[in-house]
Structure 1
Amino acid sequence: MYRFAIALTLFSSSAIAQVATLSGTDGQNSLGTVPCAAIAGEPLSNCPAELRRKEDGTATLAVQLNTGEVRRIYFTDGIPDSSSSTAKISYETPGDLMVIFIEPGEVYEIPRAALTRQ
């Protein structure tokens, strides 16, 4: 069983460091929380998440938003290329963190190491 315990520093106006973790369940799938916001301007909060990896280099991150909706983000070789939303998806990689944006205001933060093939 692999375990990921990665501290993330969130960039907020108060500059408070928060921690998010992904605990491996079987080496392929991870359960935990990721910082997310479903609405533009909303502060990030820890959202329940599951990361499912496949041997072909693809992965799916399912995040339960505080609106009750589940957003799925699809990755190929560690790059987010689509989601369960029809809106535009983009991302930035400041340091060891990947910040994913889905228009008009969804934000997700995930450690880049969590997307690396084992």
Structure 2
Amino acid sequence: MLRLATALTLISTAASAQVATLSGTDGQNALGTVPCAALSGEPMSSCPAELRKKEDGTATLAVQLNTGEVRRIYFTNGVPDSSSSTSKLTYETPGDLMVIFIEPGEVYEIPKAALNN
């Protein structure tokens, strides 16, 4: 149920996306929250996020961390391939969820449906 709610928070209409914006984003795309942790050992929390998709199959997920930093994760055809961090990025896809890890301890959970729509 929580995953479905998260997917729905990321799949919003353009009209509602223009109401608010996340620092460092354009405010024109899907706004919502994603579960994230910024530091190793930190519990997951709900982080404001904006998903920007392009017609060429690329997308950018901007996430406001509780440290005040905005982390950008870049996707090509639904697969995370880099981020605004210079640290190593890996991911797993258990079920309908994508879990992204950025060393040393950042973790993000994104519904695959949000990337495929």
Q: Same fold (TM over 0.5)?
A: yes
Q: Which residue of 2 aligns with 1:45?
A: 45
Q: Which residue of 2 aligns with 1:7?
A: 2
Q: Identity percentage over the alignment?
A: 77
Q: Which runs of 4+ in 1 moved over 2 A?
A: 25-29
More helix by share: 2
Q: Which residue of 1 aligns with 2:114?
A: 114
SS at match of 1:24: coil
More strand by share: 1
Q: Which residue of 1 aligns with 2:19?
A: none
Corresponding position: 1:26 with 2:14: yes
Unaligned 5+ runs, structure 2: 16-27
Unaligned 5+ runs, structure 1: 1-5, 10-18
Aligned length: 103
Q: Deviations over 1:31-69 (max 9, x none)?
A: 000000000010000000000000000000000000000
TM-score when normalising by structure 2:
0.82
1:23 Cα shift? 4.1
1:29 Cα shift? 2.2
User: Structure 2: how far apart are the matches of 1:29 and 1:92?
Assistant: 25
User: Structure 1: how far apart are the matches of 2:94 and 2:31?
Assistant: 23
Confirm or deny: 8 A CA contact 2:98 2:109 kept in the other structure.
yes
User: Structure 1: how far apart are the matches of 2:32 and 2:86?
Assistant: 25
SS at match of 2:14: coil
TM-score when normalising by structure 1:
0.81
